[in-house]
Amino acid sequence: MSWISDPKFTQDQPFGPQTLPYGVVDGGVAVRVGDRALLLKSLALGKCSEYVQEDSLDPLLKAGRPIWSVLRAKLKEIVQSSSAPKGAELVGIETAKLPFTVGDYVDFYSSRHHAENVGKMFRPDGDALTPNWTHLPIGYHGRAGTVYVSGTEIVRPNGQKRGSEGPKFGPSERLDIEAEVGFVCGGPKAANVSTSRAAEHVFGVALVNDWSARDIQAWEYQPLGPFLAKSFATSIGAWITPLEAFSVARVPTPPLPNKLHDYLTCDQPWGLDITITVELNDTIVARPPFREMSWSFVQQLAHMTVNGATVRPGDLFASGTVSGPEKNERGSFLELSWGGKEPFKLDDGSTRSFLEDGDTVKLTATAPGEGGSVVGLAEVVGTVRSA
């Protein structure tokens, strides 16, 4: 019997009172309630009020886990009340923008199914996995400056590609997606973060599409890995779902075949039972299951900081492409089309191996919540155009 009258603000909908993701719209910091946004700066939030007065989540990210927990509890109480509190203002979500200042950006490679698929395509006569893959979460540093909010157009990148008479230069002809889950960091700056402390430094969870130019990548990635093929664009959802919303969705990660070093062992399950839906031009082409990821976000953060590197508020790290064991669970078009050899069909009768100009990709995702509810992650949408 909430005072918020919105048919999408129910427990069986992704953005009901069980989710309450944070974002920034015209008017300031807000939480999403169904298809509306509740502005926070005029609400009586006690000691939490000072962290939601700016047009950014940056102060809240710095505040740390104790404030995050108190604020979430207060907001759940407010939105489930039968009467609107003083200062309550509901606005549209159409003006949502990138809600925080991205510090460092790291992308991982943590789906065994994805890694094995790519290995089979790229190394058909060798081992699908590299020898280090089951011993550490492989990752690379990306560019924070090209992390864009959902809805931003994606410009087809230029770069060098392999040619029959040496490299050629021009727009990518094998533009791809990577359906991923991202983690927004907060709390005090820290290094050597253990797996047991990692959750103290993760504010929330968001969908990520790490766009990839496969032809540029194939020419440039040896020996140092991704560069121009990845740095041109990474899309993130406009609303950050608090980590606490996933308490019911926690699951063990699939077992690895070898003993791990102590800093990567976990005393709690930190896999997440999130199911992503990938749509291309309104056709659902895949449903990647995040529960299949071999490395959890706490292991990724522990590895990222074990050498003395720090994590700080606003840092973002992403899981890497999410893929499952079935063909319809593959989180990239590289896999869905098996390197372009097996184009997949859309509802309009057309086929794709990689992205064409004008194509629109949308990622959505849900996870189980308390009492049989559904926890949502905000959509990530991007349309491709030529330069």
Annotated binding site: 107, 109, 123, 178, 180, 210, 217, 221, 230, 234, 321
Name which of 283, 299, 306 is nearest 361 in CA terms: 283
Residue 223 to residue 201: CA distance in whole angstroms: 32
Binding site members for substrate? 109, 123, 217, 221, 321
Binding site members for Ca(2+)? 107, 178, 180, 210
Ranges of beta strands (E only) in 254-335 are 271-272, 275-280, 283-286, 310-311, 316-318
Instruction: Give exposure, 358-368, as e/b (b: 16+ Cβ within 10 Å).
Output: ebebbbbbbbb
Judge whether 303 counts as a catalytic residue: no
Q: Which two tokens stand for residue 269?
A: 């399950």
Residue among 113, 114, 201, 303 flagged as catalytic: 114
Q: Which two tokens stand for residue 214?
A: 């496969």
Name which of 268, 255, 283, 277 is nearest 199 in CA terms: 268
Q: Which two tokens stand for residue 246?
A: 């996933």
Q: Cβ(360)–Cβ(274) under 8 Å?
A: no
Name which of 113, 109, 147, 108 is nearest 286 in CA terms: 113
Residue 51 to residue 55: CA distance in whole angstroms: 10
Within the chain, residue ranges assigned H as helices are: 58-63, 65-79, 112-122, 214-220, 228-231, 297-305, 333-336
Cα three-residue angle 246-57-13, rounded to 5 degrees: 40
Query: How would you classify residue 158: left for phi > 0, otherwise alpha for psi between -120 and 50, otherwise beta?
Result: beta
Cα three-residue angle 362-364-369, rounded to 5 degrees: 175
Residue 359 to residue 235: CA distance in whole angstroms: 15
Binding site members for Mg(2+)? 210, 230, 234
Active site residues: 114
